[in-house]
Structure 1
Amino acid sequence: MARIRVLVVDDSALMRQILSSILSSDPGIEVVGTAPDPLVAREKIKALNPDVMTLDVEMPGMDGIAFLEKVMTLRPMPVVMVSSLTERGAEVTMRAMELGAVDVFCKPGDAAAGGFAAHAQELIDKVKAASVSRVKALVGKGGIKPQAKLAVTQIYKSSDRLVAIGSSTGGVEALRDIILALPPDAPPIVITQHIPPRFSASFAERLDGLAAVRVKEAADNERILAGHVYIAPGDRHLTVKRSGAQLMTHTFDGPLTSGHKPSVDVLFHSVAEVCGSASVGVILTGMGRDGAEGLLAMHKAGADTLGEDESSCVVYGMPKAAFELGAVDRELPLSRIADEILKLCRSDGRH
């Protein structure tokens, strides 16, 4: 099998060396070149035709986002952003993923002291996942206007339906498309997206500034309201619980489940137990199997369940695993999922 050809772009010579060394340690990956800035990277893309590019988020004296936008417009390719765990890093990375970057790898805080060793396999896995992803040319993603918000404070009632969504690789853009298509009085939605700590808050803030619904990072023990979207913190599991006729969020630390924290399986299992048939489960693009077992539990509890179909997935991994397990009622392209969610929530039961 041909090795994955990777171009490493970072303004730091030390970081280029570290990233190249980690990636080259895997027999399935070949680092074909490195570049200190977008000008050099542009020429190396033309000359080397890499399968995947790693791109530093914060490079002084240049605009990496503008470079990424050109790449995704003129020569779409899988890109893994390499970011620091800072507020600025999170904001820029979220913009990069909206433009089509496949995933983000966070530099360890103790990188200079050898902290990369514990995260080497994570970087390798993200590059491998990116290599099998489907990327599309960037068209008309830059000028979305914020939508007006209406005051919607309806408390979830036992007769209402809750929507639970799980996603991973490629999910930032997919969730953005779904959430921006929702009306201000949409049913309440809880989401687990595999995303690093701090990035989940930035992601929620960006969406809240654009969507008609309210979007926030989920906090522990808050009422779930119609017209609101709750996104799991990047380092905590999210579940739902009942307090009388109301639903409440519950966020907590804990071990990895299905290889992840937050875990889609953890969220889906809680929704199956607490809401049963008064729920809709949706599994979107992502690598691996997280969410498949949980969605099956929702399906068995009487919930309507949807999966993103292969044609629109960046990585058809999680939806495929759920479908093969018998957890998915119907597969739909991303462009139809928001409408289907709303239609199901207006109905009284499955289908």
Structure 2
Amino acid sequence: MIRVLVVEDSATVRQFLREALTRADGFEIVGEATDGAAAVELCRRLRPDVITMDVVLPVMSGLAATEQIMAHAPTPILVVCSADRRELFTTYDALAAGAVDVLEKPRGDASDDTWGHRLRTAVKVVSRIRVVTRRLPVPPPHPDGAGTPGPPPGVRAIAVGASTGGPGAIVRLLRALPAEFPVPVLYVQHLASGGAFAQAFTGWLAEQTGRLVGYARGGEALSALGGRVTMAPPDRHLLVRGGHLQLSAGPPRHSCRPAVDALFESVAMDLGGNAAGCLLTGMGRDGADGLLAMRRAGAVTYAQDAGSCVVYGMPREAAALGAAAEVLPPEEIGARLAAVGRRSPGALSGRLAWRTPS
């Protein structure tokens, strides 16, 4: 029996949640809260297995409640939110604070017919995730990487992969890079939802880091992407071929498309030792084999450490294979990578006048 605390101030949406969860065996609603402060107290008292969390709440916001819960009574949190852009930005703030997944609220259209099933599936998956205490605020970044070794000269791209907990980890890594960082960052993030959720993620990440962030379109030359963060779009693998980006609708890997392994393996083949690979928090093993391929090709490789992960799955598999040269928190990985900008060839200089996205 999965014990669920429902946090939602709308009586209508609470009814949707209640009916969806009680329609099938295996779920018990142990409490309901209509504001963030009550959610924190009920979590402390009831110790549920999963919390469904709205982000727009009275008294205390869902974001603040998530921060309090993850700092004092770590519990798997499924954010249930609308597709409004600002609410989605707050949702990603909650994911960065330790929430583990997101589900869009019922839309009032035909998609609601399967919403209950999707909710129950998401709650089951979230309930299996072992979460850890998240100390807040996030430790300050190391903007210049002074005194830390970095990848060798000639690095043409940094490949990064993440799943559950990835939004918070990638922000910590990117904030540790200098403002005028010249190397392209290619990023695969497992996102459960496409559409507005996926579009909002790039805007949120740009706002959090002050960097240019966008989805790959296919055909871009790495030499034209200096310093940008370029993501695999929803439902497409991101590959590097002949120094250019390619998108693929090939079969999922580890039930994922985009898959981290697909990116890492293509980078190993195309760039060899002129690349760096970083595997961050996530459930499963996607990226472990690809990171090993990168290391064998001569690339510098990193995996996130257990203490800073929301889910120590993918990085653990990489460490077990010997795929990671170093296992570190995200901000320390960023500090290692910071030296790339000072040691990479000057061919990209002149492209690197960073401006915070408006």
Short-chain TM bin: 0.7 to 0.9
- Deviation track 1:131-185 (CA, whole Å, cap 9, x = no partner) reads x0213133268xx9xx9xxxxxxxxxx9442110101111110100111111122
| Other-structure match for 1:234 | 234
CA distance in 2: counterparts of 1:209 and 1:88, whole angstroms: 12
- Which of 275, 278, 282 does residue 279 from structure 1 map onto? 275
The answer (yes or no) to whether the contact 2:36–2:59 under 8 Å persists in 1 is: no
- Which of 213, 217, 220 does residue 215 from structure 2 map onto? 217
Shift of 1:85: 4.4
The answer (yes or no) to whether the contact 1:305–1:329 under 8 Å persists in 2 is: yes
- Which of 169, 174, 182 does residue 179 from structure 1 map onto? 174
CA distance in 1: counterparts of 2:116 and 2:251, whole angstroms: 21
Identity of aligned residues (%): 37
The answer (yes or no) to whether the contact 1:192–1:262 under 8 Å persists in 2 is: yes
- Which of 293, 301, 309 does residue 313 from structure 1 map onto? 309
Shift of 1:305: 1.2
Asked if 1:38 corresponds to 2:33, the answer is no
- Which of 197, 200, 203 does residue 198 from structure 2 map onto? 200
The answer (yes or no) to whether the contact 1:72–1:100 under 8 Å persists in 2 is: yes
CA distance in 2: counterparts of 1:159 and 1:44, whole angstroms: 54
The DSSP-based 3-state class of the residue aligned with 1:114 is: helix
Q: Describe the shift of the 1:73–1:308 C-alpha distance in structure 2 as closer, same or farther (beyond 3 A).
A: closer
The answer (yes or no) to whether the contact 2:95–2:101 under 8 Å persists in 1 is: yes
| Other-structure match for 1:151 | none
The answer (yes or no) to whether the contact 1:217–1:232 under 8 Å persists in 2 is: yes
Q: Describe the shift of the 1:39–1:323 C-alpha distance in structure 2 as closer, same or farther (beyond 3 A).
A: closer
Q: Describe the shift of the 1:305–1:230 C-alpha distance in structure 2 as closer, same or farther (beyond 3 A).
A: same
Q: Describe the shift of the 1:61–1:32 C-alpha distance in structure 2 as closer, same or farther (beyond 3 A).
A: closer
| Other-structure match for 2:296 | 300
CA distance in 2: counterparts of 1:186 and 1:344, whole angstroms: 8
CA distance in 2: counterparts of 1:291 and 1:202, whole angstroms: 24
Matches within 5 A, 1:315-330: 315-330=311-326
Q: Describe the shift of the 1:186–1:199 C-alpha distance in structure 2 as closer, same or farther (beyond 3 A).
A: farther
Shift of 1:304: 1.5
Matches within 5 A, 1:78-227: 78-107=76-105, 110-117=110-117, 120-129=120-129, 132-139=130-137, 159-183=154-178, 184-195=180-191, 196-197=193-194, 198-224=196-222, 225-227=225-227
Q: Describe the shift of the 1:333–1:263 C-alpha distance in structure 2 as closer, same or farther (beyond 3 A).
A: same
| Other-structure match for 2:51 | 53
Q: RMSD across aligned C-alpha pairs, in angstroms?
A: 3.2
Code of the aligned partner of 2:159? A
Q: Describe the shift of the 1:229–1:209 C-alpha distance in structure 2 as closer, same or farther (beyond 3 A).
A: same
- Which of 284, 294, 309 does residue 288 from structure 1 map onto? 284
Code of the aligned partner of 1:7? L
The DSSP-based 3-state class of the residue aligned with 1:192 is: strand
The DSSP-based 3-state class of the residue aligned with 2:306 is: coil
Code of the aligned partner of 2:22? S
CA distance in 2: counterparts of 1:61 and 1:309, whole angstroms: 35
CA distance in 2: counterparts of 1:178 and 1:50, whole angstroms: 32
The answer (yes or no) to whether the contact 1:78–1:135 under 8 Å persists in 2 is: no
Q: TM-score, normalised by structure 1?
A: 0.79
Code of the aligned partner of 1:336? E
| Other-structure match for 1:153 | none
Q: For structure 1, which runs of at least 5 residues remain unmatched after alignment?
A: 148-157
- Deviation track 1:179-217 (CA, whole Å, cap 9, x = no partner) reads 111112241110001123233332222232343542223
State the aligned residue count: 324
The DSSP-based 3-state class of the residue aligned with 1:135 is: coil
The answer (yes or no) to whether the contact 1:189–1:230 under 8 Å persists in 2 is: yes
The answer (yes or no) to whether the contact 1:83–1:90 under 8 Å persists in 2 is: yes
The answer (yes or no) to whether the contact 1:185–1:213 under 8 Å persists in 2 is: no
The DSSP-based 3-state class of the residue aligned with 2:205 is: helix
- Which of 253, 264, 270 does residue 257 from structure 1 map onto? 253
The DSSP-based 3-state class of the residue aligned with 1:97 is: helix
Q: TM-score, normalised by structure 2?
A: 0.78
Asked if 1:268 corresponds to 2:264, the answer is yes
Bigger relative contact order, structure 1 or 2 (CA pairs below 8 A, ≥6 apart): 2
